[in-house]
Amino acid sequence: MSTTQSTPRPPFLPTDPEEFTSHVITHGAEWFDYCRRVDEYVVNTEPILAESQQQARQLPLQNQALQREIDHLHQQLTAEESAHQQTRAALQAIIEYQKGQLKEKEQDYINALAEKNQAVQLAAPTVNTPARTPESAAEVPAVAPVVAPASIDSPSATSAQLSERLPDPDKFEGD
């Protein structure tokens, strides 16, 4: 809408009213052209000036709207950061809990292995061997004589006997 037009300049700049009057009388056509250009300039400049004034009035309102939007975005970002920190804290607590559970299960596993090893040792048959003395070592033949295996008792008779070497284990409760 703006057309670039320079401000019209008068044909002569008088210093007093008499000089102006005498110049207008002698150069009337130039002053008429000057007055016409001034009128065109004013007509073309008024809408541009009104639009500029309107924009100048709207700029503070636009600035306020942008400031409210910035404040809203800042609050939203702060809320998101707070939620992120809460989520991070909750996840850290879960990790710590799981680490504790893992340590507990590892300890349970170690205890179970120890119990297994103890059970295997208890299940192994034991043989009483006499203590050797240095003199008796010379008397022992190089090859031991083959003897008949010990008699195998029926399962009911074996389970009814108590071991002389070790006490019976505690009742198994599934742990």
What integer pLDDT is reported at residue 128 of this predicted model?
73
What integer pLDDT is reported at residue 143 of this predicted model?
56
H or E element, residue 36: helix 28-123
What integer pLDDT is reported at residue 90 of this predicted model?
95
* pLDDT at residue 2 tops 50: no
Domain that holds residue 48: 17-90
Least trusted range by pLDDT, from 6-10, 18-22, 104-108, 167-171:
167-171
In a domain, 53, yes or no: yes
In a domain, 28, yes or no: yes
Question: Measured in whole angstroms, how far is the alpha carbon of residue 31 from the centre of its chain?
Answer: 78
Q: Position of tokens 């022992």?
A: 140
Q: Position of tokens 């742990």?
A: 175
In a domain, 58, yes or no: yes
In a domain, 64, yes or no: yes
- What confidence tens digit (pLDDT) does each residue in 113-167 have? 999 999 888 887 777 776 766 565 555 555 555 555 555 555 555 555 554 678 7
In a domain, 102, yes or no: no
Burial of 118 (0-12, 13-18, 19+ CB in 10 A): exposed
Give the length of the chain: 175
Quickly list DSSP for 56-106. HHHHHHHHHHHHHHHHHHHHHHHHHHHHHHHHHHHHHHHHHHHHHHHHHHH
In a domain, 67, yes or no: yes
What integer pLDDT is reported at residue 112 of this predicted model?
95
Q: What's the structural domain count of the chain?
A: 1
In a domain, 23, yes or no: yes
- What confidence tens digit (pLDDT) does each residue in 25-78 have? 998 899 899 999 999 999 999 998 999 999 999 999 999 999 999 999 999 999
Q: Is pTM beyond 0.75 here?
A: no
